[in-house]
């Protein structure tokens, strides 16, 4: 069968139309030979999201945003996405708008709920949510920091103003004088330090000798300490305790009137006898002094001695003169 020119022209036109349709779809990112599923989600704000933005599942691109429309009733943006993957997407899955980085626009991320076994059909609405991006998080952190910085700047300005009020001309002059005095003091201290260094340098040998003597004294002290440590303090203390025990026994015997010392301290009769004897001895000595001839008699002419008469004493033991 001979193909006429008209048939060839028709085939060429149809092929051109199909090629144009395929090319147009390819340029829009849609493959005519791939099965797509369409899902919708509503958001309060889709700022930064553009049509043809990629749709990902765990970072893998599985589709794209095909359209963004406004709901005529609620005026909320409605996003249409097409997914070319056969991965089962449940009805409780979420379609989140997120910002992958500082550079580039926003994208769509599908968070599948693997526990839900009810698979969403093409054309259904899924739950939409906006995830704060890095820019939003930085803005949230910088806002309180900016407020704190503003308060710090205001406080610093107030402090500087107060300082300017306090530091008048007289105060500044006094401050200059204080700094000058401090500089002079530091110079004097520097001179004293140099003098001390000179003294140390001049007496370095003497200082070395003193340190050597200190070392010897420390060695001697160590020797004495070793000697003291070798002393049997335990036996010495035990002997001292025994001696103190014996002394306590002697004192107890004396207090109880035992022995000569005890009788001397406790026997009133002995004390009275000693007192009486002492008085009689005192009277005898007084009588000897007053009447010596009664005891020493030297008679040259045979004169008779006078008879002995006891000396009378008063209540205090004092002799009464005749």
Q: What is the mean pLDDT of the chain?
A: 78
pLDDT digits (tens, 9 = 90+) for 223-232: 877 766 666 6
pLDDT at 277: 85
Confidence at 80, pLDDT banded by 50, 70, 90: very high
pLDDT at 206: 82
6-14: average pLDDT = 79
- Closest by Cα among 96, 160, 158 to 129: 96
174-201: average pLDDT = 86
pLDDT at 310: 57
pLDDT digits (tens, 9 = 90+) for 266-297: 667 777 777 888 888 888 888 777 777 766 66
Q: Which tokens hold the place of 231? A: 């002393």
pLDDT at 41: 92
pLDDT at 322 over 80: no
Q: Which of these ranges, 32-41, 199-208, 215-224, has the smallest mean pLDDT?
A: 32-41
Confidence at 300, pLDDT banded by 50, 70, 90: very low
pLDDT at 312: 62
Confidence at 119, pLDDT banded by 50, 70, 90: confident
pTM of the model: 0.38
pLDDT at 163 over 80: no
Q: Which of these ranges, 3-12, 77-86, 129-138, has the smallest mean pLDDT?
A: 129-138
157-161: average pLDDT = 81
pLDDT at 28: 60
Q: Is 164 left (phi over 0), alpha (psi -120 to 50) or beta?
A: alpha
Q: What is the 3-state secondary structure (H, E, C) of the chain?
A: CCCCHHHHHHHHHHHHHHHHHHHHHHHCCCCCCCCCEEEEEECCCCCCCCCCCEEEECCEEEEEEEEEEECCCCCCEEEEEEECCCCCCECCCEEEEECCCCCCCCEEEEECCCCCCCECCCCCECEEEECCCHHHHHHHHHHHHHHHHHHHHHHHHHHHHHHHHHCCHHHHHHHHHHHHHHHHHHHHHHHHHHHHHHHHHHCHHHHHHHHHHHHHHHHHHHHHHHHHHHCCHHHHHHHHHHHHHHHHHHHHHHHHCCHHHHHHHHCHHHHHHHHHHHHHHHHHHHHHHHCHHHCCCCCCCCCCCCCCCCCCECCCCCECCC
**Residue 89 burial class via C-beta count within 10 angstroms: exposed 0-12, middle 13-18, buried 19 and up:** buried
């Amino acid at each position: 069968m001979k193909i006429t020119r008209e048939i060839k022209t028709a085939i060429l036109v149809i092929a051109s139309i199909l090629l144009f349709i395929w090319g147009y779809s390819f340029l829009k990112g849609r493959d005519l030979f791939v099965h797509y599923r369409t899902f919708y989600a509503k958001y309060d704000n889709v700022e930064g999201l553009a049509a043809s933005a990629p749709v990902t599942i765990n970072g893998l691109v599985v589709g794209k945003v095909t359209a963004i429309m406004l709901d005529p009733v609620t005026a909320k943006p409605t996003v249409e996405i097409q997914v070319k993957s056969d991965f089962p997407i449940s009805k409780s899955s979420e379609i989140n708008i997120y910002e992958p980085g500082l550079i580039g626009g926003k994208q769509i991320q599908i968070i599948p709920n693997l526990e839900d076994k009810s698979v969403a059909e093409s054309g259904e609405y899924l739950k939409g949510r906006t995830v704060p991006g890095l820019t939003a998080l930085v803005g949230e952190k910088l806002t309180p920091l900016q407020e704190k910085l503003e308060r710090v700047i205001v406080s610093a300005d107030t402090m500087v103003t107060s300082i300017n009020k306090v530091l008048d001309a007289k105060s500044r002059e006094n401050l200059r004088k204080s700094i000058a005095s401090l500089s002079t003091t530091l110079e004097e201290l520097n001179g004293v330090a140099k003098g001390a260094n000179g003294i140390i340098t001049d007496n370095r040998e003497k200082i070395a000798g003193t340190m050597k003597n200190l070392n010897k004294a420390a060695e001697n002290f160590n020797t004495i300490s070793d000697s003291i440590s070798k002393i049997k303090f335990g036996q010495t203390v035990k002997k001292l305790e025994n001696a103190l025990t014996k002394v306590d026994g002697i004192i107890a015997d004396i207090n109880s009137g035992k022995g000569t010392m005890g009788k001397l301290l406790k026997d009133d009769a002995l004390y009275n006898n000693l007192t009486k004897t002492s008085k009689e001895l005192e009277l005898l000595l007084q009588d000897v002094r007053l009447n010596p001839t009664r005891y020493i008699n030297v008679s040259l002419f045979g004169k008779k001695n006078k008879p002995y008469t006891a000396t009378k004493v008063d209540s205090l033991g004092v002799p009464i003169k005749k």
